[in-house]
Each structure stands twice: as structure tokens, then as C-alpha cells.
Structure 1
Amino acid sequence: MSEQTFSATLAGHIIQSMEVPLLQNGFAFLQAEAMQSVLESYGLLGWDTFAASWNELGVDRYMADGGRYRRRRYATFSLTEGESTRKPHQPHYQSRDYNTLNGGIERWFKPVLPTIGEHPALMAILRLAYRVATDMTPPERRPNAWHTEIHQFRIEARPDTEGCPTPEGLHRDGVDWVFVVMIRRENVARGETSIHDLGHTQVGSFTLTNPMDTAVVNDNRVYHGVTPVHPVDPNKPAYRDVLVVTLRHE
């Protein structure tokens, strides 16, 4: 067996092991080592330059709580088999049914930089997202293309201000699938993800800790939320960087 064939076979087994709990429970947690193996089979390169782009995000000025602890960039894509096509820049919109804090308005964020929008690391993540969403969607409900939104988030924490990854609280996003990929944690404590069923009973929890730790959520079946983060050393910068990728029917 060639190295390439072995890599693809291993990736297939890992994806299947992730899809089982996703089918049973509506969510899955994939640790960094396994996620890296899968992404490498999909063409992962240059993770360090990809992660460094989180240093170039803009302040989110749409926070209804008045906070200035969140930085982000945003882009949209159309995903089809074998192709990821970036769409013209557009606003992000969620109804207040899904986001009671910041929903109900068009929010124009800085676009994802062109070099990051076509970066091999992002392309690998999008290929994986397409694979999982397609695998997990019954054939009769699979769209011709997935409308895909890309969010680069940095949540900053200060001694006098906690950083809230999900300031809207426990929520759903109004999409079909949500992928959350840890990019970096720097000098922060907490940030635990909890998963709740549609009756709001907690059904799971975990913490994205290492770069490439990944959560996958069936947004039609569960709610998710993340606890605030706090600085470990109050004299040093503290932040939590993640990539959020959502997919819904076009």
C-alpha cells in the first residue's frame, strides 16, 4: 500500500469514527492529531501562515452588549463536489430567532484576506466539511451546492473584562452544519463547549484546547455554547482564536 493510499484510508476511518457520534448524538469532537491526519489527506499545507492571519482581524463593532472583545473576518463560499467558489463579499445576517443579542440586522465585517480565502489549510477544511455534510445528509435532501460561511474569530480577555465566545448564550445558528476549528489559545482559561438537545438538556461537553481540535454540530438537532475565557496571567495578552464554518442549503 502506498503512503498516499494509506493516508486516504486512515482519513476515511477517522471520518467514519466522527460520523457515528454525529449521527447518534448530533455532535462530534475530533482531537487535533486525528484532525491533522484528515486535513493532510485533503491537502493541508502552511498551517502556521494560516494561523498567523488571526493577527489581522478587525474589531466586531456590532456587539449589542457594547463589548469590544471580539475580532473577526468573514467570507462566503459555494461548495460543490471538488470545488470551493468564493462569493462576492456580503453581510452576515441571522434572525433574532437564532441570535437574540446581535440578530435582525445586516452585519458587514472585514472580508477574509484573499490569500487566506484560497489558502491550502482553508481549502482542506472546506473539503472535509463538504464530505461530512454530504455523508450525513440523506440523498434526497442534498443540495446542488452548500452555502458556506467562514468566520475568523478572536476573543480577547482582559483582567477586567472576560471574553465571551458565544455572547448570545446557548444557541443554534440557523444553518445545517457547524464546524469549529481551534486555531490557538493564548494565556486563557475556561472556554468549555457544552452541547444541549432541543429540550435544553445538556448531552455533552468538551474544551477545544490544541490547534486543530474540532467540533462538528448538527444545528438542526442541538444547541451549543461556550463559557467565557479569562486571562491566566493578567499581565500578558490573552485570546482564543477559532475558525467557524457553517453550511446550509442554498
Structure 2
Amino acid sequence: MAGAGGWATRGATGVSCAEVCGADVGAGQATLQGIMHVTFPAPTVEADALVPTLQRQGFAVLGPAAVSAWLDVPLPALRALHPAWDDLPPDRYLKDGGRYRRRRHGCFVVDGDAVRRVPDRAHYQPLEYNALHGGMRRWFAPLTPALLDAPAWTRLLQRTAALATALRGPQPWYVEAHPFRIDTTGGIGRPTPEGAHRDGVDLVAVFLLDRHNIKGGESRVFDAAGPHGQRFTLSEPWSALLLDDERVIHETTPIQPLREGELGWRDTLVLTCRASGFLGD
């Protein structure tokens, strides 16, 4: 998985997961280093190459046009979802004492094109997948009706579940939806305070909606079976990173304001698909 922003051996850009993320990656100790201010372009593929790329290397990146083609949803319909990110309540569970994360949460079962919303439930991750916030049931505010009723929303769930089916075969998928806003309140925001991790699911889809007045926020994907990985920055609204969670570990580096004294933020939608039930069942 080496490339312009990748590493396979030690060299000018070749570093290990532990060196880049901090020695204690599992506890979310990633630090701001000079390297995070160097922007590597995302290794995007076209929509028709999504499945073979994901099968071959465990992750794939799509630009906005490819996301639109994959979902069969025009970009204006996707951008119409953005107001929901201005109405995200604070995350009350951050153990690092931060106030930089806002979020909501919703759960669905997707079987083919049938999408069923399930009653609101706590988000749960075992400690083995989230050393910082695992082992506890976290209750977040539910998704808003405006988001749930948008046709583009249903299509996002259907196509993400269909991608999981392409990887694992036809079956019902237990999908959790996480709209996030990470901001620079206090000077720094941490998209993944738990550090480099897996989510304990089959597929993770990370959609970038907005980057405003920030530097950092670099995506890093590592081979779960070895030290090889790649780093790049999602910079365009409605670009996406798709991850086979069994094969790769991922994280996003902290963000800082580009212009001091002005708030910055990074908006994402994370969808996870898991076979055989939700974590914690």
C-alpha cells in the first residue's frame, strides 16, 4: 500500500504506525507532529473500481463525482443534508476532557433495498476496539427527522450495505450512523481520540462533508497484519474513505485552526456495517 503518501520501508516518508501515531496509539496518544501539515493527495478511484480496489487492498477512496455515481445521487441532493451538521449536540463522554466533538447516532437494519430504523439504542464498543471509550454504553442524541426523511439518506444506507454485501455476501446488515463535527474549540480537535483502531465491524464508510478553516485531519490507514500503511487527506466535500475493518486499522490526525482566532471544523458522516447484530447485543 505504498505510494506518494504511503510507506512500506523506512525512508523519507517511510515510518511505522507506532512512530507516526505515537507509541501508545491504542490509548489515543497521537500527537501533532510536523508531518501532519504536509498534505498528501487522496488515492482516489472511480466508482466502477470501488469493489475490486476494496477487495484487493482493504480500503478505497472516492472523490465527490465518484461518490455521486456510486450512490446514484446528485451532489446537490447530498449537499442538502449539510444543515443537519449545524444541529449536533456535544459529546458528553470524552475522557480527555475535550469539548471539540459534536455528534448524533442512529441504528438501522438494511436487507437488500429494505431499510428499517430500529429503536434508539446506546453505542457500544468493547475495550479491544476502543481503549479510550470502550466498555461503556454511550447514549447520543437521535438523528433528526429532517435527515431521516431525506431521500439521499436512504440511498446512503442502501449503497453502503450493498458494498458490505459485495465483500461478505448477501445478508442483513446492522448499520450504525454517526454524524460528527470536530471543531477547534480550545485550539485542537481530535477526530479519533482513541488513536489508530478498528471498529469491530465489517465495513466502515467515512464521508467528508466539510472542512472549514483547519489544517491537519489527515487520514491514515494501516495493514492490520503488518506495518505497511498510507496517509492522505480527504479535502473535497463528499469524498469518501471505505474500509474493510477486518483488514485495516485507521485513524485521523488532530485538527488546528488555519487562521488563529477563528473557529474551524471538520464534518463527517461515518456509517458502519456489521453482520450478525450490533456490537453489545
Relative to the length of structure 2, the TM-score reads 0.79
> 1:28, 1:163 → 2: CA distance?
25
The structure 1 residue matched to 2:94, chosen from 50, 56, 63, is: 63
Q: Which residue of 2 aligns with 1:164?
A: 190
> 1:191, 1:44 → 2: CA distance?
23
Query: What is the CA distance between 1:42 and its match in structure 2?
Result: 4.9
Q: Which residue of 2 aligns with 1:237?
A: 263
> 1:154, 1:14 → 2: CA distance?
27
Contact 1:35–1:214, Cα closer than 8 Å, also in 2: yes
Q: Which residue of 2 aligns with 1:153?
A: 180
> 2:152, 2:76 → 1: CA distance?
6
Letter in 2 for 1:209: S
> 2:100, 2:250 → 1: CA distance?
20
Q: Which residue of 1 aligns with 2:24?
A: none
1:37 aligns with 2:65: no
- Change in CA separation of 1:43 and 1:80 when aligned onto 2, cut-off 3 Å: farther
- Change in CA separation of 1:179 and 1:83 when aligned onto 2, cut-off 3 Å: same
Letter in 2 for 1:126: L
Query: What is the CA distance between 1:208 and its match in structure 2?
Result: 1.2
Letter in 2 for 1:65: D
Query: What is the CA distance between 1:54 and its match in structure 2?
Result: 0.2
1:22 aligns with 2:70: no
Q: Which residue of 1 aligns with 2:213?
A: 187
Structure 1 consecutive aligned stretches of length 4 or more whose deviation exceeds 6 Å: none
> 1:66, 1:117 → 2: CA distance?
31
Q: Percent identity?
A: 37
- Change in CA separation of 1:200 and 1:191 when aligned onto 2, cut-off 3 Å: farther
Q: Which residue of 2 aligns with 1:109?
A: 140
Contact 2:47–2:69, Cα closer than 8 Å, also in 1: no
Which blocks of at least 5 consecutive residues in structure 1 are unaligned?
Answer: 1-12
> 2:267, 2:151 → 1: CA distance?
19
Letter in 2 for 1:28: A
Q: Which residue of 2 aligns with 1:217?
A: 243
Letter in 2 for 1:64: K
The structure 1 residue matched to 2:104, chosen from 37, 52, 73, is: 73
Contact 1:44–1:124, Cα closer than 8 Å, also in 2: no
Q: Which residue of 2 aligns with 1:176?
A: 202
Q: Whose strand fraction is larger, Structure 1's or Structure 2's?
A: 1
Contact 1:75–1:89, Cα closer than 8 Å, also in 2: yes
- Change in CA separation of 1:168 and 1:200 when aligned onto 2, cut-off 3 Å: farther
Letter in 2 for 1:153: F
Query: What is the CA distance between 1:45 and its match in structure 2?
Result: 5.9
> 2:208, 2:215 → 1: CA distance?
14
Letter in 2 for 1:176: D
The alignment of Structure 1 onto Structure 2 pairs a total of residues equal to 232
**Residue 134 of structure 1 aligns to a residue in which SS?**
helix
The structure 2 residue matched to 1:91, chosen from 113, 122, 126, is: 122
> 1:82, 1:238 → 2: CA distance?
37
Aligned-residue CA RMSD (Å): 1.7
Contact 1:157–1:229, Cα closer than 8 Å, also in 2: yes
Query: What is the CA distance between 1:236 and its match in structure 2?
Result: 1.8
1:136 aligns with 2:144: no
